[in-house]
């Protein structure tokens, strides 16, 4: 790891100020991607601004059906929140299968979203739940937030502070995990609103990162059942191909995971 | 270089290290506690697992600076008064190790797992919870057996205490 300077932020304002004062600085949440990347010398931030001690960035608040998860809340905290499980168990289930127990004790929802790994789980939930990403300066709809592989709408120095969404009537997430890394080779989050609106978001498979599958959304809007997806085509031309799975195999996985998710919702 | 202070196995300790120093290196090199191992160096194997403020974490993927002010427990902090911790005793009784390299991480993971599940563990849960710990000798069978035995004993002890 290259030399770096560690700073511990005490508030959101403090964190943003520290970041502004830093050269090529980076926010450090759980560090479960950033530190391994720095160890491999693939990232070399001059400064790290640690967010773990910013109390206003921790915790889950459920008011009626409105959910607010502060950005430095860990995967473990999301997975084990009884309050959250009462209104949206799908997101608890998703968090309980990220990485391994040690990663879940450190890794955070905000860190995952800001990194936007194309195989990360949370981006699909944000897109399917029509969540809002709250930053230190504005609110961004999930649909506008994820802009490409490891790319987001965040400006330089902009800090994700929380996410909010309205709990859906039904939702579920299913992923086919890479047997070694446990990242999604295909993960599908389905959500249905009280008014019948359906969203289907796919992670791990898209060559430009997380995406919505409009064909499956239309099919599920008129018939919320796994069978409704039987004849919906999944186009392989925009999907990732690698040594683990080629695009046509991933296209099939997307369909199978979507069916399983609808059955589980 | 900065001075870092934390509580390790109940004792307040401090040491000079770089901001980039990993917690595992601080524990091994500054404190001389070499029970915590570096296995893979790519954050996958779990040989470096310690507890920070009561939760299992990978000390190879955490900076010492991040851990400043926290309470750390390492494998050296488990046995009390010359008696093995129940999890350590169960690994011994069930032959839950061969070369022993992964064992400190396995034991620290097992203690955390048993605490979170309140002694209510089954084989499938133990195997799923071992996702982040790799053993290249045992085939995991006796590790799982050891964790289940320790969980039953510690769960039983809790009931007796109540």
The domains found in chain A, sorted by start residue, are 1-167 (3.30.465.10), 170-264 (3.30.390.50)
For position B41, what pLDDT does the model report? 83
How does pLDDT run across A50-100, given as a tens digit for each residue?
999 999 999 999 999 999 999 999 999 999 999 999 999 999 999 999 999
Q: How far apart are CA B156 and CA B162, in angstroms?
A: 10
Structure tokens at B68: 């400043």
Size of interface A-B (CB pairs under 8 A): 76
Tell me the percentage of chain A whose pLDDT exceeds 90.
98
A107-129, pLDDT tens digit by residue?
A: 999 999 999 999 999 999 999 99
Query: Mean of the pLDDT values across residues B123-151?
Result: 96
Chain B within 8 Å of A170 (Cβ-Cβ)? Answer: no
Interchain CB distance below 8 Å, B56 and A28: no
Residue A208 in this model has a pLDDT that exceeds 90 = yes
Instruction: Report ipTM for this prediction.
Output: 0.95
pLDDT band at residue B158 under the 50/70/90 scheme: low
- The arithmetic mean of pLDDT across residues A11-21, rounded, is 98
Both structure tokens of B8: 């390790």
- pLDDT band per the 50, 70, 90 thresholds, residue A181: confident
Alpha carbon distance A140, A157 (integer Å): 15
User: Which residues is A67 bridged to in the sheet?
Assistant: A62, A165
Interface of A with B in 108-127 (CB under 8 A): none
Question: Would you give the DSSP letter of residue A74?
Answer: B
Residue A8 has pLDDT above 60, yes or no: yes
- Which of B19, B50, B64, B105 has the most A C-beta neighbours within 10 Å, making it the best mutation to test the interface with A? B19
Per-residue model confidence (pLDDT) at position A58: 97
Widest distance between CA atoms in chain A: 57
C-alpha A201/C-alpha A254 separation (Å) is: 10
- Name chain A contacts of B52, Cβ cutoff 8 Å: 105
Burial class (CB in 10 A: 0-12, 13-18, 19+), A145: buried
pLDDT of residue B68 exceeding 60: yes
CA dist A31 and A196 (Å) reads 39
Lowest mean pLDDT among A3-12, B24-33, B152-161: B152-161
Please, what is the average pLDDT of chain A?
97
On whether the CB atoms of residues A31 and A9 are closer than 8 A, the answer is no
Residues B120 and A214: their CA atoms lie apart, in Å, by: 43
Q: How confident is the model at residue B55 (pLDDT cuts 50, 70, 90)?
A: very high
B55-65 average pLDDT score: 98
Would you give the distance in Å from CA B7 to the centre of its chain?
16
- Measured between beta carbons, the chain B residues lying within 8 angstroms of A3 are 18-20
Answer yes or no: is pLDDT of B108 > 70.
Answer: yes
The residue of A18, A102, A111 whose CB has the most chain B CBs within 10 angstroms, and thus the best one to mutate to test that interface, is A102
What confidence score (pLDDT) does residue A264 get?
97
The residue written with tokens 């399983």 in the block is A260
- Cross-chain residue pair A5–B49, CB shorter than 8 Å: no
Residue with tokens 């403090």: A14
Domain annotation for chain B: domains and CATH numbers: 2-77 (3.10.20.30), 86-161 (1.10.150.120)
A35 and chain B: CB distance < 8 Å anywhere? yes
Average pLDDT of the residues of chain B:
95
Residue B162 has pLDDT above 90, yes or no: no
**Continuous segment of H or E residues that includes residue B71:** strand B71-73
Cα maximum dimension of chain B: 50
**Whether the predicted pLDDT of B159 surpasses 70:** no
Q: Does the beta-carbon distance from B57 to A100 stay under 8 Å?
A: no
Under DSSP, the state recorded for B29 is I
Q: Which of A22-26, A249-253, B154-158 has the lowest mean pLDDT?
A: B154-158
- Best mutation target among A29, A74, A101, A178 (most B Cβ atoms within 10 Å) is A101
Distance CA B3, CA A110 (A): 30
CB contact under 8 A, A36 and B42: yes
Helix B103-116 × helix B141-161 angle, to 10°: 40
Is the pLDDT score of B156 beyond 80?
Answer: no
Q: Which of B18, B42, B56 is closest, CB to CB, to A105?
A: B56
């Amino acid at each position: 790891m290259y030399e770096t300077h560690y700073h511990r932020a005490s508030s959101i304002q403090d964190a943003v100020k520290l970041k502004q004062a830093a050269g090529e600085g980076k926010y450090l949440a759980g560090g479960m991607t950033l530190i391994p990347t720095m160890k491999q010398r693939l990232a070399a931030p001059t400064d790290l601004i640690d967010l773990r001690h910013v109390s206003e960035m921790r915790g889950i608040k459920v008011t009626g059906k409105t959910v607010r998860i502060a950005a430095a809340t860990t995967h473990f905290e999301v997975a084990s929140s009884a309050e959250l499980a009462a209104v949206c168990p799908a997101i608890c289930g998703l968090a309980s299968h990220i990485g391994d127990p040690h990663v879940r004790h450190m890794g955070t929802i905000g860190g995952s979203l800001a990194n936007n790994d194309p195989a990360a789980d949370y981006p699909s939930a944000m897109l399917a739940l029509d969540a809002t990403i709250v930053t230190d300066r504005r609110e961004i709809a999930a649909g506008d937030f994820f802009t490409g592989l490891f790319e987001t709408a965040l400006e330089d120095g902009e800090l994700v502070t929380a996410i909010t969404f309205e709990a859906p009537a039904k939702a579920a997430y299913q992923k086919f995990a890479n047997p070694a890394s446990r990242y999604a080779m295909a993960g599908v989050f389905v959500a249905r609103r009280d008014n019948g609106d359906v969203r289907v978001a796919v992670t791990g498979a898209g060559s430009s990162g997380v995406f919505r599958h409009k064909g499956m959304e239309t099919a599920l809007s008129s018939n919320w059942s796994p069978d409704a997806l039987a004849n919906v085509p999944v186009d392989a031309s925009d999907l990732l191909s690698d040594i683990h799975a080629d695009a046509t195999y991933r296209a099939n996985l997307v369909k199978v995971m979507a069916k399983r998710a609808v059955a589980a919702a | 270089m900065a001075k870092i202070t934390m509580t390790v196995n109940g004792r307040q300790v401090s040491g000079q290290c770089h901001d980039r120093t990993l917690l595992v290196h601080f524990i091994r090199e500054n404190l001389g506690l070499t029970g915590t191992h570096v296995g893979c160096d790519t954050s996958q194997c779990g040989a470096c697992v310690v507890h920070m403020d009561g939760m299992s974490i990978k000390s190879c993927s955490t900076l010492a600076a991040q851990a400043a002010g926290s309470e750390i427990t390492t494998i050296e902090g488990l046995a009390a008064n010359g008696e093995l911790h129940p999890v350590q005793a169960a690994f011994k009784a069930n032959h839950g190790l061969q070369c022993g390299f992964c064992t400190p991480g396995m034991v620290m993971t097992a203690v955390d797992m048993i605490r979170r599940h309140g002694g209510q563990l089954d084989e499938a849960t133990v195997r799923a919870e071992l996702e982040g710990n790799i053993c290249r000798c045992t085939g995991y069978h006796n590790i799982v057996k050891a964790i289940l035995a320790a969980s039953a004993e510690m769960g039983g002890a809790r009931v007796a205490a109540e």
